[in-house]
Structure 1
Amino acid sequence: MIGEALIDLLESTSGGELVYRPAVGGAPFNVAVGIARLGADVHFVGSFGDDPFGHRLLDFLDKSGVGTDGAQTIPDVATTLAVTTFQGHEPTFRFYGSPPSYGLLDAARVDVDRVAGARLLYCGSMCLLAPPVLAAARRAWAVPGPVRVFDPNVRPVVGLNPDVVEEFAATADLVKLSSADATALWGESPEAATERLLAAGAGAVVVTLGSQGALVAKGSASVLVPAPQITPVDATGAGDATMAGLSWGILSQGKPADLGEWATLTRVAVHVAGYVCESPGGAVAMPTVADLRARFVDLAV
């Protein structure tokens, strides 16, 4: 896993007053925790602030079973904060901290031998706007061997270069994005964005559609995988949970060979997201396989 870790300040109320609760977060951070909770081996490569929040992030990874030997703590740098407000159950983010603690990774921290021996390589999200992290991701992406999964995870207030997205998509085995990503990047529908990414070279594309489920595409065919029926509380980390479910499925079962297998894998992944949406927070809400089986008794997992 190559990406960012930060602290989400989640909007809430207490005693009638507006308060902000700190929670561990960052999209790749959430994905790493989700994969580990589901039972697969995962290692996180990224930069961290040298402060109590940064140490809390690293401790949470360690306690979740995520390897942190590729982590880099940056002296005299404070951990980036994402102030999170809500419209209904959907979060909106604003980011604070300069330089961003997640954007200072030394590309030399990428162990190319470990990458070559890995079964799956994930990168993506707004950390790719930071030149050091982009260099590190390119270094890892060039190593043959692992299944490559990419998630643009665009934040409209931060952005991401569409050329960078298409660069990584060109050799990705899977690109996962949201319908909001498609709009932010190209002003396109999920269907048009899917066609764009497949034409660029992506092996398969999964576009999350919120309560509608996910659009899954490979080659010239696509299918809609419906979302489970849930009682939503907080959608923070839903896309990350989907990515964790997809990555875990690839690690446990191998890369799907056709659209039907991708759809089966995505069905499990959207249930992981549904589980997360029924609790507040992102990383802290990631389920185990036993949690999924208990909550969704008809889900084959």
Structure 2
Amino acid sequence: MPDIITTGELLIDFSPVKAPGVENAVCPNPGGAPGNVAVQLSRLGASAGFIGKVGDDSFGHTLKDCLEENGVDVGNVVVDRDVRTTLAFVHLNSKGDRSFTFYRDPGADTQLRENEVDKSLISGCKLLHFGSLSLTTEPSRTTTLNLVKEARGLGRMISYDPNWRPALWKDAEEGIAAMGIGLELCHVLKISEEELSLLTGTDSIAEGTKALHQKGVILALVTLGPDGCVSSLKGQLRHHPTYDVKVVDTTGSGDSFWGAFLSQLIQNGYDTPEKLESLGQEELAGFCRFANAAGSMCASKPGGIPAIAGREDILRCMEEMDVLETGFRLM
């Protein structure tokens, strides 16, 4: 039984590529945040499984095969004949940062029903990770929330990524309200600076993370792009700079960061909420450095899952690459 279960969207990212004489050329790559996290976990030797749904089409079979080839348990990846696999077109700006256009109406990932889930995966895991894209529509919203509540009731650790994709919500108000539900269900959280502001109503990292802890979050990592991340463990804030690599494509880099961080938690025995409370600041800093290196390595290559690094490359980054000095100061 996998130690870590991720659940949510599994989709194809069409990433821009350079092709002689062709404008707007794209290359299909397997992706979807929870799928990316599962692959990063597996590549680092963690036992990972995925719960989700794809369409009975070439894209869906490619995605399922990709997870399986990367050592992820796909026993609960449902293949549905009645819906198509979700597609996402990635747009990159001059800095390598991306935005998305989704083809998802409804999209197989949104159609997972609770009776299609093997509940033994929930009872048998140590940690369940989910993201907000599963909350955008039914039936995946109810299915996901019920799985999370069941896992939490069994004492399992809950990880959450409020992955803000405004195009997938009817309006910002609805999206922010639904994303906020996950904050009250998780123990460990990855959240961007923009998402922190949206969900807490403040641009202050200190005040925002304080609000998160009041909702029950034990450990929050605020991702800051080139500024690395800030950890907040029970209200203790610490900044962790990232590595100076040439950024090519940030698609999947946050998921790589998070998969690497979760691997460190579980592989070092912090696999229950109670144990997480005992994590020390220096050990946490080491986990964050490792996660930052993983995210940096992913961002240095094009295309989501194909860019996700293994342990040797991550350690090499930590040994050989300079820390990126951006002048960020935690105020």
Q: How would you bin the TM-score normalised by the shorter chain?
A: over 0.9
Matched, 1:277 2:306: no
The range that moved more, 252-261 or 86-95, is 252-261
CA contact (8 A) 1:46 1:70 kept: yes
The range that moved more, 22-31 or 186-195, is 186-195
The amino acid across from 1:178 in the alignment is S
- Post-superposition Cα deviations, 1:264-284, rounded to whole Å, max 9, x if no partner, equal 222211111011011111111
For 1:158, the equivalent position in structure 2 comes to 168
CA contact (8 A) 2:51 2:117 kept: yes
Matched, 1:15 2:20: yes
- Provide the C-alpha distance between the structure 1 equivalents of 2:101 and 2:199, rounded to a whole number of angstroms: 18
- Post-superposition Cα deviations, 1:203-234, rounded to whole Å, max 9, x if no partner, equal 11101000000011022320111111211111
Matched, 1:146 2:153: no
- Provide the C-alpha distance between the structure 2 equivalents of 1:214 and 1:269, rounded to a whole number of angstroms: 10
CA contact (8 A) 2:219 2:233 kept: yes
CA contact (8 A) 2:15 2:26 kept: yes
- Provide the C-alpha distance between the structure 2 equivalents of 1:190 and 1:258, rounded to a whole number of angstroms: 24
- Provide the C-alpha distance between the structure 2 equivalents of 1:284 and 1:190, rounded to a whole number of angstroms: 35
For 2:255, the equivalent position in structure 1 comes to 240
For 2:230, the equivalent position in structure 1 comes to 215
CA contact (8 A) 2:53 2:78 kept: yes
- Provide the C-alpha distance between the structure 1 equivalents of 2:204 and 2:89, rounded to a whole number of angstroms: 28
Q: 1:126 aligns with which of 123, 133, 136?
A: 133
Query: Secondary structure of 2:64's match?
Result: helix
Shift of 1:10: 1.0
For 1:25, the equivalent position in structure 2 comes to 31
CA contact (8 A) 1:27 1:125 kept: no
- How many residue pairs get aligned? The number is 299
For 2:47, the equivalent position in structure 1 comes to 41
For 1:2, the equivalent position in structure 2 comes to 7
The range that moved more, 155-164 or 217-226, is 155-164
For 1:178, the equivalent position in structure 2 comes to 192
- Provide the C-alpha distance between the structure 1 equivalents of 2:140 and 2:104, rounded to a whole number of angstroms: 16
Structure 1 residues 114, 80: closer, same or farther in 2, change over 3 A?
Answer: closer
For 1:289, the equivalent position in structure 2 comes to 311
For 2:68, the equivalent position in structure 1 comes to 62
CA contact (8 A) 2:290 2:315 kept: no
Shift of 1:149: 0.7
For 2:324, the equivalent position in structure 1 comes to none
The range that moved more, 100-109 or 132-141, is 132-141
Shift of 1:285: 1.1
The amino acid across from 2:72 in the alignment is V
CA contact (8 A) 1:90 1:234 kept: yes
- Post-superposition Cα deviations, 1:133-175, rounded to whole Å, max 9, x if no partner, equal 2222222212213221111111122247333333322232201
- Provide the C-alpha distance between the structure 2 equivalents of 1:263 and 1:157, rounded to a whole number of angstroms: 35
TM-score relative to the length of structure 1 = 0.93
Identify unmatched segments of 5+ residues in structure 1: none
Structure 1 moving runs of 4+ over 6 Å: none
Matched, 1:83 2:89: yes
- Aligned Cα root-mean-square deviation (Å): 1.9
Identify unmatched segments of 5+ residues in structure 2: 1-5, 271-275, 322-331
Matched, 1:112 2:116: no
Shift of 1:185: 4.1
Query: Secondary structure of 1:297's match?
Result: helix
CA contact (8 A) 1:94 1:157 kept: yes
Structure 1 residues 155, 190: closer, same or farther in 2, change over 3 A?
Answer: farther
CA contact (8 A) 1:178 1:239 kept: no
The amino acid across from 1:199 in the alignment is Q
The amino acid across from 1:96 in the alignment is Y
CA contact (8 A) 2:209 2:235 kept: no
CA contact (8 A) 2:290 2:314 kept: no
TM-score relative to the length of structure 2 = 0.85
